[in-house]
Amino acid sequence: MSAPLPINFAKPDADALAAVTGRIALLLSPDGKSGALGRRLDRLSRGAIARATASAAWDRLKAGEGVDIAWPAGLQAEALQLVKLPRRATVAEARKAGATIGKALGAGGVTVVAEGQVRLSDLALGLVLRAYDFTAHKTSGVKERGAVTILTADPEAAEAGTRSAMAVAEGVCFTRDLVNEPANVLTTTDFASRLKAMEKLGLKVEVLDEEALTKLGMGALLGVGQGSESPSSVVVMQWNGGKKGDAPFALVGKGVVFDTGGISIKPAAGMEEMTMDMGGAGVVAGVMRTLALRKARANVVGLVGIVENMPDGRAQRPGDVVKSMKGDTIEIINTDAEGRLVLADVLWYAQERFRPTGMINLATLTGAIIIGLGHEHAGVFSNDDALSAAFLKAATAEGEGAWRMPMGQAYDDMLKSRIADMKNTGGRPGGSITAAQFLKRFVKDETPWIHLDIAGVALPPGETTLAPKGATGWGVMALNRLVADMLEG
């Protein structure tokens, strides 16, 4: 995997600044003031910092943004980056500052002068996440990343304070790798193997193959994958860091490694991005990795349904009727509404086996949510106000956009079928809501539940503050925060 960039911490040495190579990033308050190291750098660079911070260009910068002084006089560094950051910065400002440094990182590495900054863990997290680059399939043109050293008065305390953040960073990077991988590499078998390998982190991981799924009666999930040469599976990841015997909280993810739409085939334009249709499962995997790495004091189970949706002589057709594990029958109106079929069986299995205290599923489920919320927010659908509020609070704290959407009987009525218990789609109007209503039919009344439609945020069309163009890993930070707040508090 793309391992997160390691962060080194060291005590400041003013006399060594002139000889530092690579880049130097200096954190400055909005008024341009700095500590002793900043003043030394200003003297060495013959007042370049003072001139820069007195300029209109500096005034226009927002908190977390920066400006470069290339090949500064009096220094061996190739660039001196001045980053505007209040000493009492917010979480978002500190992470943005880190991202500004990480985006500019090159082969020569960077030395970060962070005098007096209290949000070093957020600075480091932003740096590592923005420095991420998926290069597994490039043979040339790969931008090298040098070492990162943050100068701080107490390196040991700083390192200890960032361990949890680096666990989050690894979970996010793991999710990004999974979502960025092409489907000929991340096959259903390879995906399951990568998750199985997380046993070395202390997770208990089981892979349920097609024979086991058939015995369980998962006809909805198996119907999606029957047109593919790649076998379907359900992977169960358990982290038991809480009180022994306590019921876990459940995370469930849609893992369609490639979605052609099946017989209801998608248009060719843009189909190459359907490698990301396992994004929900990727987030669940990243969260479970993070919980294991930071030894979370909670019981959490992650379940993902892994399939490939292909057109084939054996593929399910519009008009087919399948039977779910719950026992309900489903008329297939559109084979491209397949993710909800996968989730239906995994949601029911999660409840039957684990009796979870609550349950959240994630899926790149509908294009309709992108029409409604764009690429700024995931859609939040829930049967429980308290759980929904807790998640929205966690998402806001982590800067991951989420917006609660309505549900109701009128939407549910749109799923009525003439020949089966329900249809798998209610048509275009309210498409993301009817998809949520479909899933709700497989959630027991006593189970607090959230459905997160992440179609717009998993792979946005451009870069974001903390991610280059490509997979974002949206949801790992928010769900990790939710577990910490709700289960470990």
Q: Which residues are catalytic?
A: 266, 340
Place of tokens 């719950």: 326
Between CA 439 and CA 433 the distance in angstroms is 10
Judge contact between 103 and 141, C-beta under 8 A. Answer: no
Helix axis angle, 476-487 to 385-397, nearest 10°: 120
Burial (Cβ within 10 Å: 0-12, 13-18, ≥19) of residue 94: buried
Tell me what percent of the chain is helix, strand and coil, each rounded to the nearest 5: 40, 20, 40
Which positions ≥6 away from 45 have C-beta within 8 Å?
69, 72, 73, 74, 75, 80
Amino acid letter, 286: G
Mapped onto helix, strand or coil, the DSSP state of residue 453 is: strand
Between CA 68 and CA 23 the distance in angstroms is 10
Amino acid letter, 208: L
Between CA 483 and CA 225 the distance in angstroms is 32
> Could you tell me the sign of the dihedral formed by the alpha carbons of 119, 470, 371, 366, in that order?
negative
Place of tokens 């949520």: 436
Between CA 5 and CA 66 the distance in angstroms is 21
Mapped onto helix, strand or coil, the DSSP state of residue 107 is: coil
Helix axis angle, 279-293 to 476-487, nearest 10°: 50
Question: Around Cβ 189, how many Cβ atoms within 10 Å?
Answer: 14
